Amino acid sequence: MPLVFRFAARSDVGRVRSKNDDSAYAGLHLAVVADGMGGHVGGDVASASTVLDLAPLDASGYASPATVLPDEIQNANLILNDLVHASPKLAGMGTTCTAMLLAGETIHVAHIGDSRAYRFKDDTFEQISVDHTFVQRLVDEGRLDPSEAESHPHKNVLMRVLGDVDASPELDISALDAAPGERWLLCSDGLTAVVPPSVIEQKLRHRADLQTVADELVELTLSGGAPDNVTVVVLEVQQAAEGESEAGTPAQLSEQALAAATPAQAGPVSASLLREDLESRPHVLVGAAELATQTGKIPIVTRRSTQKRAAALLTGAPALGDQAEGTHPPREPVAAEAGAAATASADLIEGHRAPEDSTTEGPAADPRGREGNREEDRPRRRRSVFIPVFTALLALIFAVLLLWGYLWTQTQYFVGAQDGRVAIFNGVSQRLGPIELAHLDTETEVSLEELPAYSRQRVESGLPARDLEHAQQIVDQLETSVDPEPTPSPSDSPSDSASPSGSPSPSGSATAPPATPSGGDR
């Protein structure tokens, strides 16, 4: 029999925060926890957007299940970038993401940030995810004892997150064998900041009811002060009931939801569309994502995400288009249609000429006469004039676009290397043939040799910045990275330690090595 998740979840704002920036989803095949950050303007938007974008993956029968989850998380990251471009006040928002997709007898895990995934299997309890924090990096490099990690002042400084700081963040991806009876727990760091792993293990080991596990862990967090939002998802792998794991039929959408399927312009996704999508399968949704669907304030504004979701509902196809061979619609016969149109146009022209020629008397009726030749030459002259004019117009458009592109590059900034030192450049780090697209703006006193190897490599390849001020911030952060024990940066709360605008990613971030704070109101 195929395997499915049994699930339970709970989320709470905690004792200190004013709003819940956590979101979570759990279903028969998918579980996701996201812990948003960005203060009062963006944390809930980032986590809810990510969870709601991943929720349609809760299905079976993917042709390439190993790539479905990481690909869609990358897509969710692009949506966050679109959100920031549409609403600049959301700049700096981000979210962690820990997600699991059960496909057959394999659990695919994708993770970024400091939310965690624990597994209890074969009487063994272990943490599957690895925190992407500054402290964990110190531990991995042997510069900090693991016993000191929980009390370190920078334990909440994140090195990798989803958000507008990296166009292609690096995810931790793994595939693990699944077996009936094993249990999993996904949680935001609001739980692990208060409740030790030994207590989590005890609850997973001795409590039969999954909802009881989630409730008791959240209550323990609240009784311990709950300085951050807390979210818990508890899962148990079991054999599916008859027909339970089969892909369901497409949701029967209402007229209101159908109207949202083809929006006239980019705008919020219809709350009814999402609700009917979610109601088509067993699931639990908590935190900011649940509030978004209830209030209708869905934080996904891009047309492509709207149309993708609507297409999945209307056709029953997977949201990513991850279909088996032979299921794609046939391509349109573009060339044949173009040829038919050309033939029809020629017939129309000839049909128009025939009556004119048949009623013409005298010299013009003779195709060899001077008047007849003059009439035939006119279309040729028009064509001979049209071609150079059209070519000149294309050349002018190309020149204008080229000039505009060059001028745009001069509004950009990046941090790079100059004579062994960190420097700020105006432009972009590429060349256009012999044309240099950047020039030195400011040379700093930060030596490349004093930087950590990873930071030095990133500087040498060029770190893009949004503007000059952002570039100067990157330089300041690089300067602090010279010291292996950086001083804490200002924070809104004891649990938050850095600004979200500087989260680096080993995959190639547009920012510097200092990191992004985890949690809610930053």
Regions of the chain short of the pLDDT cut 50: 247-250, 265-268, 301-303, 314-379, 486-517, 519-522
Cβ atoms of 299 and 83 closer than 8 Å: yes
C-alpha separations of 320 from 99, 222, 257, 315 in Å = 16, 39, 20, 12
Quote the CA–CA distance of 522 and 44 in Å, as a whole number: 12
DSSP letter for 262, please.
S
Report the SS3 class of residue 397.
helix
pTM over 0.85: no
Q: What is the pLDDT of residue 344?
A: 30
Name the residue with tokens 């950047």. Answer: 438
Quote the CA–CA distance of 394 and 226 in Å, as a whole number: 64
Quote the CA–CA distance of 116 and 33 in Å, as a whole number: 9
Mean pLDDT of the residues in the chain: 76
The residue type found at 98 is T
Q: What is the pLDDT of residue 484?
A: 55
| Bridge-based pairing state of the strands 30-37 and 97-103 | antiparallel
Residue 298 CB: number of other CB atoms within 10 A?
23
Q: What is the pLDDT of residue 476?
A: 87
Handedness of CA 361, 363, 369, 375 (dihedral sign): negative
Tokens of 42: 């963006």
